[in-house]
Amino acid sequence: MMVDSEIGFVADFVAEMISSPAGIALFICIAVIFAILQYFILGYAKRLSNESTTKALHLCLTHTAVIIVQYVLVAIIAFVIVQMLVLSQYNTIILYPAVFISDGLLIVTLALLSRALLSWYRSRAEQRTKESNTLVLILSLSMVAYVMLGIITLVSDIALLQEQLSVVTSSDVAYFPTFEPEDFVSQLNTVFYAGSSIAYVLNWVGIVMLLRPYIQRLGQIKFWAIMGVVMVYYLASFPLFVLGYFNPAAERDVNVMNGTLIFSVGAVLSGILFGAARLSIARTLKGSALRNYMAIAACGTVLLYVTLQAQVSQAAYPPFGLVSTACAGLSTYLIYVGLYSSAVTVSQDLALRQSISKSVTAQSKLLDSIGTAQMKTELQRRVLTVAKKASDDMAAKTGVEASMTEDEIKDYIGRVIKELESK
């Protein structure tokens, strides 16, 4: 995806290279890899949802919709490839549904995730710690910001595609239209850069809060140096864009091309960093369903930052950037499934622990008359039955199981019993 999106950015600089047989072969290879890997990614996401005893209806519907959308996008890419191989040209009209479908899926899935996180934040506002509430709220707001960016991207791409030729041939050069500052598209681009900076900062703060327990492992100086450098690197493109130094539509000069590549890579590095943050948490959760949810969210995060930088509205030959654009909706779906399932799992673990504590206290009063050793055995048996039923009820309501295994439940029951004994 990174190769595809970066070539798309500088397609006008390397027009002869990418329109050569080698360039066309590279585009086809990227498309084939995308088609194959998305099959396995969607299959893995489906297996994760099937691990629950029951499935949430909205997750099942979303998964079905994503499968349909992604295979429609694969068909569009295949149609473009056939046109190039047979006619040495392709119709730009086929790019419209690709952009609309992919950006539309991105907007819908991030909107669903924003709604789920905000709903979870409100429902748990009195039960969670202040810091945990703030983290969920910040992540929710960052998702809302990315929804707005998705809408701006969709409108901007459609407007830019209208400036392109109806048929692009192997002799045509990718075209980045220029607009006056007062034009709608120029103002839209300014809003996009400002909005992306806000969304990035919110996500950056959320990741820092998420990683606070792990700062000591890496070292505070190294941690803040990495986070600070990546943040400055990413945000530097906005003032440079406003001042006219960072402009993909500028004249074809090698320095301009290098500058475009350097700053566009900043988003990719940020995505890798944010993805690594979630993977580092997943690694600490061995044997837990939460580990898989966090890992899939991490993969989606990396893909999202790559695909958000992709652009197909320049109508290059071949249309580099199209495959990355087609991956945008898939990336947000992975984030949606991973973060939603993680949030529900953590919430259910907390509720299950509270249920166990109350049950141990209640059952201990009923068993107070029998011997201590026998009481502990009977107490564990009764509470374990109650805990399993509570866990099943939670899974039936949400479609996502709690991550606590039977051994972990027994261990927690033992700790609660010890606390009662000490009191």
The whole-number pLDDT of residue 29 equals 95
Q: Are 348 and 303 in contact (CB under 8 A)?
A: no
The whole-number pLDDT of residue 26 equals 95
Q: What is the pLDDT of residues 138-187, one digit of tens each?
A: 878 888 888 888 898 888 888 888 888 899 998 888 887 777 777 787 78
Q: What is the pLDDT of residues 27-78, one digit of tens each?
A: 999 999 999 999 898 888 877 766 543 445 567 778 888 899 999 999 999 9
Q: What is the pLDDT of residues 69-120, one digit of tens each?
A: 999 999 999 999 999 999 999 999 999 999 999 989 989 888 888 887 787 6
Q: What is the pTM of this model?
A: 0.74
Residue 355 has pLDDT above 80, yes or no: no
Taking all residues of the chain, what is their mean pLDDT, rounded to a whole number?
A: 75
Can you spell out the DSSP letters for 40-87? HHHHHHHHHHHTSSS--HHHHHHHHHHHHHHHHHHHHHHHHHHHHHHH
CA distance 30 to 21: 14
The whole-number pLDDT of residue 420 equals 62
Question: Dihedral sign, CA of 184, 189, 195, 199?
Answer: positive
CA distance 58 to 193: 33
- Whether cis (ω within 30° of 0) applies to the bond prior to 318 is yes
CA distance 243 to 30: 35
The whole-number pLDDT of residue 416 equals 64
Residues 6+ apart with CB under 8 A from 409: 352, 356, 384, 387, 388, 391
